[in-house]
C-alpha cells in the first residue's frame, strides 16, 4: 500500500469512526437511514459492476425495493407508533406480521422485475433479471438484517431475556468498573462488531504483507494469504473478547468468542465473495467514493456477509438459549 493511500485510509477512519459511533448509538431511524444510505450506494456500485459484464439491471427499481425491504426491519417501531396513534382515534386495524410483509414485498419485487423485462427487450433477459434481483437480496436484505439486529435490543422481549438469566444478576450485583444502561446495549454490540470487522481486515492485510507466503485463493484474490487470514481470524476473536470485558459486559464470554469466530470466518468469506464479483467484472474497486478505501461495497463487504448470521445467532441462540 502506498504511503499516500495509507494516510488517506487513516484520515478517513479518524473522521468516520466517531460519526459511525454516534449513529450506531442513536439507533432507531437514524441508524436505519445510515444503513439504507450505505446499502443504496453499495447496491448502485454492484449494478455498475454488472453493467461492465453486459447486464442491463433495473437500477432504480432495485434501489427502491431495497430501501423498502430495509424499512420493513423497522416494522415493530413503526407498528407501535401507528398502533398508539390509531388507538387514540378508536381505530384498531389488523397488522400483518413482519415476515408476511417481507414475503409479500419480495414476491411483488420478483413479479415486477420479470414483468418489466417481458416488455423491455434490452439485452439478455436472464442477465438483467438475475443482476437486478441478486443485488437486492444480497446487499439490501443482508444489510437490512443489521437493522433488525439493532432493533432486537430495543424491545421488551430482549430485556426480558436478560432479566431471566443469571448473568444479568451478576451484572447488577458485581462491580464491573461501570454500568452501561441497557438502552446502550444494542449500540455497543453493533459498534463492537463494526470495529472487530475493521480490525480483522487490518490484521489480515498487515500480517499478510509482513509474513504472508502461502496464497489463500489466487483465482479470486491473488494478494491474500493464509497467514493474513489466520491473523484476521485470531484478532477477530481477541477483539470481541476485549470488547466483552470493556463495553458489552452483558454478553457471556462464550457468545463473544462465537461472534468473533463468525466475523473471522464468514466475514473473510464475504471479502472473498466481493473480490470474486470484482474480478469477474474486471475492476479493482467498486468505486472511489471513500478515499483510500474504494467504494461502499468494498468497505462493507464483510459486514454485508455477516449481518444475517449475526442476526440469526442473536435471535435464535443468544435470546433463547
Which pLDDT score, from 0 to 100, does residue 292 have? 63
C-alpha cell recorded at residue 24: 450506531
Which pLDDT score, from 0 to 100, does residue 6 have? 63
Q: Indicate the DSSP class of residue 282.
A: T
Low-confidence ranges of the chain (pLDDT < 70): 1-7, 9, 87, 155-183, 291-293, 321
Question: What is the Cα–Cα distance from 146 to 303, expressed in whole angstroms?
Answer: 9
Surface-to-core class of residue 271, CB atoms within 10 Å of its CB (0-12 exposed, 13-18 middle, 19+ buried):
buried
C-alpha cell recorded at residue 59: 437500477
Strand-pairing partners, residue 290, are: 294
Strand-pairing partners, residue 215, are: 225
User: What b-and-e string marks burial along 16-47, b requiring 16 or more CB atoms within 10 Å of the CB?
Assistant: eeeebbebbbebeeebbebbbebbbbbbbbbb
Which pLDDT score, from 0 to 100, does residue 113 have? 97
Which pLDDT score, from 0 to 100, does residue 66 have? 97
Q: How many helices (H) and strands (E) does the chain have?
A: 15, 2
Helix (H, G, I), strand (E, B) or coil at 215: strand
Strand-pairing partners, residue 32, are: none
Question: What is the Cα–Cα distance from 209 to 213, expressed in whole angstroms?
Answer: 9
pTM for the predicted model, two decimal places: 0.88
- Give whole-number Cα distances, 231 to 72, 189, 198, 273, in Å: 37, 22, 13, 19
Question: What is the Cα–Cα distance from 108 to 130, expressed in whole angstroms?
Answer: 15
Question: What is the Cα–Cα distance from 21 to 16, expressed in whole angstroms?
Answer: 8
Which pLDDT score, from 0 to 100, does residue 311 have? 95
- Give whole-number Cα distances, 137 to 69, 223, 287, in Å: 9, 29, 21
C-alpha cell recorded at residue 196: 472487530
CA-nearest of 192, 145, 187 to 307 is 145
Amino acid at each position: 500500500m502506498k504511503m499516500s493511500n495509507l494516510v488517506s485510509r487513516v484520515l478517513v477512519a479518524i473522521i468516520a469512526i466517531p460519526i459511525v459511533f454516534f449513529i450506531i448509538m442513536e439507533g432507531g431511524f437514524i441508524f436505519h437511514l445510515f444503513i439504507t444510505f450505505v446499502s443504496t450506494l453499495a447496491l448502485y456500485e454492484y449494478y455498475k459492476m454488472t453493467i461492465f459484464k453486459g447486464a442491463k439491471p433495473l437500477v432504480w427499481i432495485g434501489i427502491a425495493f431495497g430501501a423498502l425491504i430495509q424499512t420493513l426491519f423497522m416494522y415493530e417501531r413503526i407498528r407501535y407508533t401507528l398502533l398508539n396513534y390509531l388507538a387514540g382515534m378508536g381505530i384498531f386495524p389488523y397488522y400483518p406480521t413482519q415476515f408476511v410483509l417481507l414475503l409479500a414485498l419480495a414476491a411483488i419485487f420478483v413479479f415486477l422485475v420479470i414483468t418489466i423485462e417481458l416488455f423491455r427487450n434490452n439485452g439478455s433477459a436472464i442477465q438483467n433479471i438475475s443482476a437486478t434481483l441478486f443485488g437486492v437480496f444480497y446487499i439490501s436484505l443482508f444489510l437490512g438484517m443489521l437493522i433488525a439486529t439493532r432493533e432486537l435490543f430495543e424491545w421488551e422481549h430482549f430485556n426480558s431475556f436478560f432479566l431471566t438469566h443469571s448473568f444479568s444478576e451478576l451484572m447488577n450485583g458485581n462491580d464491573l468498573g461501570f454500568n452501561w444502561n441497557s438502552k446502550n446495549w444494542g449500540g455497543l454490540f453493533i459498534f463492537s462488531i463494526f470495529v472487530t470487522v475493521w480490525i480483522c481486515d487490518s490484521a489480515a492485510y498487515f500480517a499478510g504483507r509482513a509474513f504472508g507466503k502461502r496464497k489463500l485463493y489466487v483465482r479470486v484474490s491473488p494478494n491474500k494469504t493464509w497467514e493474513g487470514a489466520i491473523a484476521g481470524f485470531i484478532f477477530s476473536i481477541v477483539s470481541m473478547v476485549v470488547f466483552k470485558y470493556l463495553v458489552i459486559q452483558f454478553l457471556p464470554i462464550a457468545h463473544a468468542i462465537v461472534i468473533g469466530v463468525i466475523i473471522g470466518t464468514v466475514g473473510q468469506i464475504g471479502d472473498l465473495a466481493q473480490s470474486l464479483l470484482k474480478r469477474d467484472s474486471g475492476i479493482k474497486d467498486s468505486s472511489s467514493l471513500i478515499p483510500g478505501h474504494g467504494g461502499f461495497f468494498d468497505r462493507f463487504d464483510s459486514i454485508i456477509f455477516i449481518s444475517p448470521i449475526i442476526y440469526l445467532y442473536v435471535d435464535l441462540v443468544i435470546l433463547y438459549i
